[in-house]
């Protein structure tokens, strides 16, 4: 009890194919593959050194004069 043999997995595969159909499963597999590929490409992009980042200071790090200029 609780052990899944190859026969159980074949029955599960047949039921899934009958419920969803091969076309929908193929589309889902393609979407997942593209998402994984995009994630891997995003992880490969080199990070920008701190000197190349734009002025991304938060309001807490800005001076009072800078905050006043931004509001007006």
pLDDT in tens, 46-57: 766 655 555 555
Domain count for the chain, please give it: 1
Structure tokens at 66: 């800078």
Question: 39 lies in a domain?
Answer: yes
pLDDT in tens, 14-70: 998 888 888 888 898 899 999 999 999 888 867 666 555 555 555 556 677 776 776
Phi, psi of 27 (to 5 degrees): -65, -40
Question: 60 lies in a domain?
Answer: no
Q: Which conformational region is residue 2 in: left (phi greater than 0), alpha (psi within -120 to 50 degrees), or beta?
A: left
Question: 34 lies in a domain?
Answer: yes
Question: 29 lies in a domain?
Answer: yes
The predicted model scores a pTM of 0.42
Question: 66 lies in a domain?
Answer: no
Question: 71 lies in a domain?
Answer: no
């Amino acid at each position: 009890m609780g052990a899944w043999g190859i026969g159980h997995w074949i029955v599960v595969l047949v039921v899934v194919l009958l419920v969803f159909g091969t076309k929908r499963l193929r589309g889902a597999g393609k979407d997942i593959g593209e998402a994984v590929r995009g994630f891997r490409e995003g992880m490969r992009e080199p990070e920008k050194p701190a000197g190349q980042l734009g002025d991304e200071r938060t309001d807490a790090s800005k001076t009072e004069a800078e905050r006043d200029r931004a509001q007006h």
